[in-house]
Amino acid sequence: MSTTTTNPSHRSVLSPGTQAPDFTLRCTPDQSVSLSELRGRPVVLAFYPADWSPVCGDQMALYNETLDEFQAFQAELVGISVDGAWCHDAFAKHNKLHFPLLADFEPKGAVARAYGVYDEKDGTCERALFVIDSDGIIHWSYVSPTGVNPGANGILSALEDLRTKSETTAAAK
Amino acid sequence: MSARIPLTLPDPERDHISGSADGLIRLLEYGDYECPFCAEVQPIVKEIQRRLGDDLLFGFRNFPLTNIHPHSEHAAEAAEAAGTQKNFWGMHETLFENQGALDDDDLAEYAAGLGLDETRLIREVTASVYAPRVREDFKSGVRGGVNGTPTFFINGERYDGPLDLKHLLSALTFQST
């Protein structure tokens, strides 16, 4: 067991304005995806503790139903947990997910650590959301209590805000 | 999406409502006819309606998770179609009571059992006549903070407590005082 504090603070969570650390993770047993490949449009990173746990199922199932809303902002959604690619594959098929699940599996939790959302005590990702702008800068982040499905509203508000910001910037040019 | 829809309160102008439009306790449910938790809570909602009577305004909006519940979309549209034939609540209850049988043939049978025009109902469901309405419900839920089903809002606030009669009733009556 880890000796880390039982009440993990979120001080280390990467905050808005920070460059989102690049990563390359498996999205299927034989394919990988890098964050930098998604540059040019907003990216939503949804870290979650585990495939198959009921709340996670709800959260990913909910995002699966809201993909049209994310796509209206040209945003790319990816789920990330420490489960392996084969586990993700079975989970995604079972829930008919239409977005990629990335395996933060080897070294375990490295990407979650880089974003400051690794739960040392449980050895899983925390339930954390990041909205990254088209230049790869973190625009919004949110860490939910592990047992609480954060829903999609915060993500959609952040994407709206991002669009307003880019329109304002474009108008000022 | 229309910005005019109140996301967390039943809207007597728009929603299927039950109880009194003047009820001071306003309960809004976002639900899915194929969700087992929604079916489980259905008798509790009925008991709440019975106990609170005209103090309660209850509204229901659709929140089908169509990928994990393949019959949920047509079931939601069938309830809407029944609503057009003035029997939303009859179909609503029938669907929850028969959650394991929600094929289109079953929907037609329930419509006939309720004395509705089943041919029209199935034609409308097949033609996705009410799909935009169901999607509008869904989107209002997402923006209102719905994170699964069922989600209840009591006087506009999301209720995150246990879904049993005692807790729901005490939250409802506490809110109103």
Domain regions of chain A by residue span = 24-172
* Residue B2, in any domain of the structure: no
Which of A57, A98, A156 minimises the CB distance to B143? Answer: A156
Q: Is B146 on the interface with A (CB under 8 A)?
A: yes
Q: Is B90 on the interface with A (CB under 8 A)?
A: no
Q: Residue B7 domain-assigned? A: no
**A62/B147 CB distance under 8 A:** yes
What's the CA gap between B154 and B159, in Å, rounded?
Answer: 6
The answer as to whether B3 is a domain residue is: no
Q: Do B142 and A69 touch (CB under 8 A)?
A: yes
User: For residue A56, what pLDDT is reported?
Assistant: 56
Instruction: Tell me whether residue B43 is in a domain.
Output: yes
- Token pair, residue B159, equals 């209720």
Q: What is the pLDDT of residues B144-154, one digit of tens each?
A: 999 999 999 99
- What CATH number did the domain enclosing B150 receive? 3.40.30.10
Average pLDDT over every residue of A96-111: 97
Is the pLDDT score of A33 beyond 50? yes
Which pLDDT score is estimated for A1? Answer: 37
Q: Residue A31: is its pLDDT beyond 70?
A: yes
Mean pLDDT to the nearest integer, B152-174: 95
ipTM value for the complex: 0.89
66-125 in A: which are within 8 Å (CB) of B? 66, 69, 95-98
For residue B130, the 8-state DSSP code is T
Alpha-carbon distance A66 to nearest alpha carbon in chain B (angstroms)? 8
Chain CA centroid to CA A63, Å = 11
| Residue in chain A nearest B161 by alpha carbon | A148
Chain B partners within 8 Å of A69 (Cβ): 139, 142
Residue B140 predicted with pLDDT over 60:
yes
- What does pLDDT average to over chain B? 95
Q: Is residue B151 part of a domain?
A: yes
Question: In whole angstroms, what is the distance from residue A70 CA to residue A63 CA?
Answer: 9
The average pLDDT across A35-45 equals 96
How many residues does this entry show for chain B?
Answer: 177
Residues in B closer than 8 angstroms to A129, CB to CB, are: none
pLDDT over 70 at B77, yes or no: yes
pLDDT-above-70 percentage for chain A: 92
Place of tokens 């034989």: A30
**Selected residue with higher pLDDT from A3 and B94:** B94
Structure tokens that stand for A136 in this block: 């790869």
Is there a contact between A61 and B66 if contact means CB atoms under 8 Å apart? no
Cα distances from A107 to residues A21, A114, B153, in angstroms, run 16, 12, 43
B9 belongs to a structural domain: no
Range of the domain at B85: 16-176
Torsion over CA: A47, A51, A57, A62 (sign): positive
Give the total residue count for chain A: 173
What's the confidence (pLDDT) of residue B69? 94
Catalytic residue positions of A, numbered: 56
How many Å apart are CA B110 and CA B78, to the nearest integer?
10
- In this complex, do B67 and A152 lie within 8 Å of one another by their Cβ atoms? no
- pTM score of the predicted model: 0.91
Confidence of residue A58 (pLDDT cuts 50, 70, 90): confident
DSSP annotation of A22 reads: P
What does the pLDDT look like over A75-101, one tens digit per residue?
Answer: 999 999 999 999 999 999 999 999 999
Q: How far apart are CA A131 and CA A77, in angstroms?
A: 9
Q: What is the mean pLDDT of residues A42-67?
A: 90
Question: In chain A, which ranges are continuous DSSP H helix?
Answer: 54-65, 67-71, 85-94, 110-114, 153-172
* pLDDT bracket for residue B52 (50, 70, 90): very high
Q: Kindly tell me if the per-residue pLDDT of A2 is higher than 50.
A: no
Q: Is B158 on the interface with A (CB under 8 A)?
A: no
Mean pLDDT, chain A, whole residue set = 91
pLDDT at A3: 37
Distances in whole angstroms, Cα of residue A106 to Cα of each of A27, A83, B151, B164: 13, 10, 37, 43
**Average pLDDT estimate for A114-130:** 96
Domain count, chain B: 1
Q: Which of B67, B69, B136, B149 to probe the A interface (max A CBs under 10 A)?
A: B67
CATH number of the domain at A24-172, please? 3.40.30.10
Residue B6 lies in a domain: no
Three-point CA angle B19, B22, B25, nearest 5°: 70
Say what the pLDDT of residue B175 is: 54
Report whether pLDDT(A73) > 90.
Answer: yes
